[in-house]
Amino acid sequence: MQLDLSGRTALITGSTQGIGYAIAQGLARAGARVAINGRTAERVDEAVRQLQQDVPGAQAVAAAADVTTEDGAADLLRSLPRVDVLINNLGIFGAQPALEITDDDWRRYFEVNVLAAVRLTRAYLPGMTRQGWGRVQYLASDSAVVIPAEMIHYGMSKTALLAASRGFAKEAAGTGVTVNSVIAGPTHTGGVEKFVYELVDSTLPWEQAQRQFMREHRPQSLLQRLIEPEEIANMVVYLSSPLASATTGAAVRVDGGYVDSILP
């Protein structure tokens, strides 16, 4: 398949590392001009340089801003007033006993994981609909469907993204703009390694710790391993391309068979 995004500008929030950076790589390889986003200019500039090394000829621009705040989002819009592809990847997670999650924790997870994505969709979707083409995606999680007992505030935020995605897809109906969610399964990132070691013996070698984590905490996985960020990115790049023009309002699974359902 020819996934050609030449001439398109893509913004990936939270893309200095992990899944976001893998998505930036994939979109750059497809020819898109990629805007790397993070909170600090230093981290963003470093990621831009790394992307240009990893993908020779990549068109990459720095988009440093804290999009979890209204002021930060406004700064980003001033520096990057139009995008063709918006990937709402930014998110936080962490284990916490259900009855110890405070009001402030609930608010923080909603504001970072949900409201930041909604705010940027509200800002960029009108321009996409005016031009008759665009792609908006939300990085959701298997936790949106299979709420983990150790982090229900995170699961709540990812469920909310599925609702927001479906709703904005209806808003964009008939315009040539597609809006989708990607349900990512347990994925191997630096942050997840830290999370794994919070739940299993921290003295175990990584491969053994990963197997124990999947066996004890994610036994539903049919892969029986963590997913690599590039595997998530492959789906995101496809959904960003012209070839995915008939897929909208969907929750597309890249979960390793984790969700025990034949439907999302």
Q: How open is the CA angle 219-260-252, to the nearest 5 degrees?
A: 115
Mean pLDDT across 206-222: 91
pLDDT value for 261: 86
Q: Are residues 200 and 130 in the same domain?
A: no
Q: Are residues 195 and 95 in the same domain?
A: no
CATH number at residue 13: 3.40.50.720
Q: How far is residue 264's CA from residue 142's CA, in Å, rounded to a whole number?
A: 9
Tokens at 17, concatenated: 């590392």
Q: Are residues 97 and 29 in the same domain?
A: yes
- Marked catalytic residue, from 109, 124, 138, 154: 154
> In the chain, how many domains are there?
2
Q: Are residues 103 and 194 in the same domain?
A: no
Q: How far is residue 238's CA from residue 224's CA, in Å, rounded to a whole number?
A: 25
Q: Is 109 annotated as catalytic?
A: no
Q: How far is residue 78's CA from residue 81's CA, in Å, rounded to a whole number?
A: 6
Mean pLDDT across 156-182: 98
Q: Tell me if 263 is assigned to some domain.
A: no
Q: Tell me if 147 is assigned to some domain.
A: yes
Mean pLDDT across 43-61: 98
E strands present in 39-131:
59-64, 85-88
Query: What residues contact 244, with CB distance under 8 A and at least 6 apart?
Result: 135, 178, 238
Q: What is the pLDDT of residues 21-35, one digit of tens each?
A: 999 999 999 999 999
Report the predicted TM-score, pTM, of the whole model to 2 decimal places. 0.94
The pLDDT of residue 101 is above 80: yes
Range of the domain at 41: 9-186+228-254
Q: Tell me if 264 is assigned to some domain.
A: no
The pLDDT of residue 4 is above 90: yes
Q: Are residues 233 and 208 in the same domain?
A: no
Q: Are residues 73 and 194 in the same domain?
A: no
Q: Are residues 159 and 112 in the same domain?
A: yes
The pLDDT of residue 133 is above 90: yes
Highest mean pLDDT among 117-121, 145-149, 258-262: 117-121
Chain position carrying tokens 């794994």? 196
The pLDDT of residue 180 is above 90: yes
Q: What SS3 class is residue 186?
A: coil
Q: Tell me if 260 is assigned to some domain.
A: no
Q: Are residues 128 and 81 in the same domain?
A: yes
Kindly report the backbone phi and psi dihedral angles of residue 3, in degrees, each rounded to the nearest multiple of 5, phi listed first: -95, 85
Q: Tell me if 261 is assigned to some domain.
A: no
Q: How confident is the model at residue 194 (pLDDT cuts 50, 70, 90)?
A: confident
